[in-house]
Amino acid sequence: MSQRIFYFPYHHVNRYVELNRQTLQQTGAEVHSYRQLYSLHNLRQRNNNTVVLNWFEDRPYRRSFSKPKRWLELLRTIGALLVMRRFCQKVIWVRHNHRPHNVNNAAKSLHNNVPVSHLVNCWLLNAIADHVVTMEPTAFASEQIPHPLYRSDQQLQTANSENKQHNSHSSFLFFGTIKPYKQLEQLLQHWPADITLTILGYCADPHYYTELNNLINQRRLKVNWHNAYVDEKQLNHTLADCRYVIMPHSDESMISSGTFYHAASYGTNFVCFDSEFARSKAARHNFVHLVDKERLTEQLKKLPYIERQEVITQCLRDYGESARLQAWQRLL
């Protein structure tokens, strides 16, 4: 009987879920929704079952949840973790963040506004998981698997073989859902007034939106902000026409960043505030440029630029389909 993988979540607005699911299917395993795990059949045939969990510890912290629903989801999550091993032989926990992005800072916490309930979830996952997986090196013990790129190897190789000289029309871009951990307010506080910045992304928090908008107006910045969810086709077109993607993200929340892998798939360079993630990438890739926000104006005017073909070549080497497939085969 072939190996069965029960994957959480099976569908998600974050394209990582689909891209990683495709890699798991390439291993030859049957990939099913996690929702199909808890059945009498799987109780009897658990030896062929592997569970792969993404963001499982964050389940109770969806922005739309009321306080009662949050507590109910917390109990469901803990209950699922306590019985999960009865239905599978192996559990692989893919950890994406240090803490959930949608946590209210007023939540009871032990350290850095991490809810006690989240710490409990992580403790349970560490206890039951055969493998704790991250996509970047971390301070805690984990095994690394490359993050998927947002174009196939064939698409990237075709883009490189065309070898066209490309005159970018847009220099600096910030994109993605706008949340405080991405520190856009820090960027706007230091952004040069004479350099145009394009922002593509929706801010769901009205207070944070007001703060950002006030900064733009008070400093009279040349900012073009499309405050909406951006169609992927439009975003990809913008990335293909952009030289630098700005990443002022904070270390406190994220471990890895889909922003990096999406933009790198189109050959952009990166301008990053200091963070563990940014330092790791800058040590590995010459197209990642660390800047000091206090010297941002000076440094932006002296930025080196690495051509798209070189960026894509490095990404294929380190994050291509073969590297991802081999990493997953070792775990499964």
Residue 187 sits in a domain whose CATH number is 3.40.50.2000
Residue 115 sits in the same domain as residue 178: no
Residue 172 sits in the same domain as residue 312: yes
Residue 162 sits in the same domain as residue 252: yes
Residue 194 sits in the same domain as residue 288: yes
Q: For the chain, what is the domain count? A: 2
Residue 169 sits in the same domain as residue 305: yes
Q: Is 146 inside a domain boundary? A: no
Residue 185 sits in the same domain as residue 274: yes
Residue 299 sits in the same domain as residue 182: yes
Single residue among 134, 166, 197 that ends a domain in this structure: 134
pLDDT in tens, the chain (332 residues): 689 999 999 999 899 999 999 999 999 999 999 999 999 999 999 999 999 999 998 888 777 777 788 788 888 999 999 999 999 999 999 999 887 766 654 444 545 567 777 888 899 999 999 999 999 998 889 999 999 999 999 999 998 887 565 556 569 999 999 999 899 999 999 999 999 999 999 999 999 999 999 999 999 999 999 999 999 999 999 999 999 999 999 877 789 999 999 999 999 999 999 999 999 999 999 999 999 999 999 999 999 999 999 999 999 999 999 999 999 999 99
Residue 180 sits in the same domain as residue 301: yes
Single residue among 134, 169, 186 that ends a domain in this structure: 134
Residue 306 sits in the same domain as residue 249: yes
Residue 200 sits in the same domain as residue 99: no
Residue 165 sits in the same domain as residue 298: yes
Q: Is 175 inside a domain boundary? A: yes
Query: Which residues constitute the domain of residue 71?
Result: 4-134
Q: Is 37 inside a domain boundary? A: yes
Residue 52 sits in the same domain as residue 158: no
pTM, 2 dp: 0.91
Q: Is 273 inside a domain boundary? A: yes
Q: Is 148 inside a domain boundary? A: no
3-state secondary structure the chain: CCCEEEEECCCCCCHHHHHHHHHHHHCCCEEEEHHHCCCHHHHHCHHHEEEEEECHHHHHHCCCCCHHHHHHHHHHHHHHHHHHHHCCCEEEEECCECCCCCCCCCCCEEECCEEHHHHHHHHHHHHHCCEEEECCCCCCCCEECCCCCCCCHHHHHHHHHHCCCCCCCEEEEEECCCCHHHCHHHHHHHCCCCCCEEEECCCCCHHHHHHHHHHHHHCCCCEEEECCCCCHHHHHHHHHCEEEEEECCCCCCECCCHHHHHHHCCCCEEEEECCHHHHHHHHHCCCEEEECHHHHHHHHCCCCCCCHHHHHHHHHHHHCHHHHHHHHHHHC
Q: Is 306 inside a domain boundary? A: yes
Cβ atoms of residues 118 and 196 within 8 Å: no
Single residue among 84, 103, 134 that ends a domain in this structure: 134
